[in-house]
Amino acid sequence: MKMKELLLVGLGGMIGALLRYGVMVTAPDTLVLWLENGIGSLILGWLTGRAISSGRKASVLWTTGVLGSFTTFSTFSAEWLVLMQDHFVLAMVYGLGMTLMCFLLAALGFKLGGQFK
């Protein structure tokens, strides 16, 4: 790994973590993960679509750094498992809903970024 890429990932991680914290303290608790993962999926789809369209690689600052620390699959998984303990059907709706939303937003971002013409 190149030192420049390492520094970009670290800087991006700091920015993404601060943005995530900003969402956590301003959005209602029930919407935090939906906002973080939805916004992150849309932006990552867009960045990926742009990178493919331009023939360049997406920047690790934005992908691994900012979006990697802004979005959170681990928190989603933990919340899903806790919900599953007492509300199996609701947990299934939650898990499938989050997954479908993120997939659709990533696909929209991909299209907006220049793919799926």
Q: Which long-range contacts (CB under 8 A, 24 or more apart) does 3-9 make?
A: 5/60, 8/59, 8/60, 8/61, 8/65, 9/60, 9/61, 9/64, 9/65, 9/68
65 marked as part of a ligand binding site: no
30 marked as part of a ligand binding site: no
d(CA 53, CA 4): 24
Q: Which residues are annotated as a binding site?
A: 68, 71
Q: Which residues are annotated as a binding site for Na(+)?
A: 68, 71
